[in-house]
Amino acid sequence: MAEAKEKNEKKEKLFYKQKNVYDIISDEEKKACEAYAEGYKRFLDACKTERLGVKYMISLAEKAGFRPYAFGSPVKAGDRLYFSNRGKALTLAVIGSKPFAEGLNIAAAHVDSPRLDLKQIPLYEEGEIAFFKTHYYGGIKKYQWVAIPLELYGTVALKSGEIIDVAVGNGPGEPQFCITDLLPHLSGEQMKKTLADGITGEGLNILAGSIPDKESEGTDRVKITLLEILNQKYGIVEEDFISAEFEAVPAFRAADIGLDRSMIGAYGQDDRSCVYAELAAILELEKCEKTAVCLIADKEEVGSDGVSGMKARSFERFVRSLCDTQGTRIEDCFANSFCISADVCNAFDPNYPEVSEKRNSAKLNYGVCLLKFTGSRGKSGSSDASAETVGKLRALFDKNGVTWQMGELGKVDQGGGGTIALLMANRDIETIDAGVPVLSMHSPFEVVSKADCYMTYKAVRALYNS
Ligand code: MN
Ligand code: MN
């Protein structure tokens, strides 16, 4: 017996043991986690597009005392600033007591999610039914987007310069949209196709309406009805779609999943689970030593290019303006900064164990997941955080009661993916990926664990307070 005990002591001392949050969380913290999840679900329902997300975050930030940053104006410790990049990306900062030369503590996430964008000439009629043509945005499995309820958000830039916001489907009694699928009875040929080919990109046409205009003759009478509705409600005509961005997104509400309510199902949790973690952490931050920055990027799902993506220089513009007020070179500020690239990863799914290597895969309820590297094949397309960077974070999390785990995106050579981590690291900022493990990632209804979301918030909070 004594010998056996000694053997266990060695294990206790030497082995790396991962912990399920629910085995170690206090009752008090479990309550805090529940409360956090309620706020997060409200956020998910209000922020289904990048524009709605930025708007909602600004409204919360202003309530918490954040003000728009006036470029070039002096700042002092405790100032709470935000910078909206064209309404699609957002930077929030709490100015620290230490000079910018000592670096920033940055948490960076992205607010865009895979979706169906309307084409620029979207509306057409076929068989006396009207449809919207779409072009998907980001990595989707097309078959998942048929036969589910959709809602539609649009921003229309009129020639007059006026901007019209359109929102249909969000709210009680609102009409919704969908894409039809073939009945099983007639799907013999379709069912022989691969999942990749069964539903095509050009087949993702959204059902838009079906009443023909009684007063008109000839073809396209349903199209007339719909354009008339749009014209009456929003004052727009068909040509205005040309300078518009319409996004169709799943109409599901965020919901608790499971009898124990331990999980949340919703659209767009990649990467809004991390966006909310950062937001919650910075909104409650009163003071800090190093300046805390919450970076919410757009366009991550399509490669981070464009004026609102993380490859754009608007982040430099913001930081340089801050640095200039203290006569600091932005290069020195970046070199001393630390960034958590807060993005989701896949959670080990016992339904599909073959794609993961279970010893190195993120598990539901095991806390915020660190990824030393992402990328594909031989870590290609990854910034591969250094041992020192991982070590620093591991110590920080342990010190602050953050339950964390280590993961990687699937087995070696199984596939892979990237985040904005390399774009931050390429700026000479020490960067590591850490985020929420997700089931059914990139599907219209993604699932996360409440405990993991809460631990991601605690992780960002720990960074801001370090
Ligand atoms: Mn992501
Ligand atoms: Mn993604």
Task: Give the H or E element holding residue 52.
Answer: helix 50-63
- If you measure from the C-alpha of residue 152 to the centroid of ligand 2, how many angstroms do you get, rounded to a whole number? 20
**Which ligand has an atom closest to residue 275 CA?**
1
What would the CATH number be for the domain defined by 115-250? Answer: 2.30.250.10
Ligand 2 centroid to residue 274 C-alpha, Å: 12
* Ligand closest to CA 442: 2
User: How is residue 138 written in tokens?
Assistant: 């980001």
Distance 344 CA to ligand 2 centre (A): 7
Q: DSSP letter string over 114-151?
A: -EEEEEEEEEEEETTEEEEEEEEESS--GGGGSSS-EE
Question: Residue 85 has which token pair?
Answer: 């990049």
Distance from Cα 344 to the centre of ligand 1, integer Å: 5
CB atoms within 10 A of CB 350: 9
pLDDT at position 8 = 85
> How many helices (H) and strands (E) in the chain?
13, 22
Q: What is the DSSP string of 226-275?
A: HHHHHHHHH---GGGGGGEEEEEEE-PPPEEESTT--EEEETTHHHHHHH
Q: Does domain 17-113+267-464 have CATH number 3.50.50.100?
A: no
d(CA 264, CA 43): 12
- Integer Cα distance of 419 and 428 in angstroms: 16
If you ran DSSP here, which 8-state letter would residue 191 be given?
H
Tens-level pLDDT at each residue, the chain (466 residues):
556 667 789 998 999 989 999 999 999 999 999 999 999 999 999 999 999 999 999 999 999 999 999 999 999 999 999 999 999 999 999 999 999 999 999 999 999 999 999 999 999 999 999 999 999 999 999 999 999 999 999 999 999 999 999 999 988 899 999 999 999 999 999 999 999 999 999 999 999 999 999 999 999 999 999 999 999 999 999 999 999 999 999 999 999 999 999 999 999 999 999 999 999 999 999 999 999 999 999 999 999 999 999 999 999 999 999 999 999 999 999 999 999 999 999 999 999 999 999 999 999 999 999 999 999 999 998 999 999 999 999 999 999 999 999 999 999 999 989 999 999 999 999 999 999 999 999 999 999 999 999 999 999 999 999 9
Task: Specify the 3-state DSSP secondary structure of 297.
Answer: strand
Element (H, E) at 68: strand 67-68
Spatial strand order in the sheet of 430-435: 67-68, 80-85, 89-94, 291-297, 104-110, 338-341, 430-435, 368-371, 404-406
Indicate which ligand has the atom closest to the C-alpha of 421.
1
Task: Please give the pLDDT value at position 253.
Answer: 96
Q: State the distance from the centre of ligand 1 to the C-alpha of 446, rounded, in angstroms.
A: 12
Element (H, E) at 369: strand 368-371
Centroid of ligand 2 to alpha carbon of 436 (angstroms)? 12
Strands 67-68 and 80-85: parallel
CA of 346 to the centre of ligand 2 (A): 10
How far is Cα 420 from Cα 300, in angstroms, rounded to an integer? 7
Q: How far is the CA of 451 from the centre of ligand 1 (A)?
A: 19
Ligand of minimum distance to the alpha carbon of 371: 1
| 347 alpha carbon – ligand 2 mean position (Å) | 13
Locate CATH 2.30.250.10 in the chain.
Answer: 115-250
The Å distance, Cα 408 to ligand 2 centre, comes to: 15
Cα 434 to ligand 2 centre (Å):
14
Q: Which ligand is nearest to the Cα of residue 108, counting in written order? A: 1
**DSSP-derived secondary structure for 417-461:** E--SHHHHHTTT-EEEEEE-EEESTTSSSEEEEHHHHHHHHHHHH
Ligand nearest to the CA of 138: 2
Ligand 2 centroid to Cα of residue 118, in Å, is: 20
Q: Supply the Cα-derived Rg of the chain in whole angstroms.
A: 24
Ligand nearest to the backbone CA of 137:
2
18 C-alpha vs ligand 1 centroid, how far in Å?
24
Distance 87 CA to ligand 2 centre (A): 20
How many whole angstroms separate alpha carbon 416 and alpha carbon 376? 4
Q: How far is the CA of 271 from the centre of ligand 2 (A)?
A: 7
Task: Provide CATH 3.40.630.10 ranges for the chain.
Answer: 17-113+267-464
Identify the pLDDT of residue 171. Answer: 84
For 296, half-sphere exposure in the C-beta direction (CA atoms, 13 angstrom radius) is 38
Contact criterion met (CB below 8 Å) for 250 and 444: yes
Other C-beta atoms closer than 10 Å to the C-beta of 429 total 22
Find the 270 Cα to ligand 1 centroid distance in Å: 5
Interatomic CA distance for residues 56 and 167, integer angstroms: 15
- How many angstroms is it from 370 CA to the middle of ligand 2? 16
C-alpha 41/C-alpha 268 separation (Å) is 11
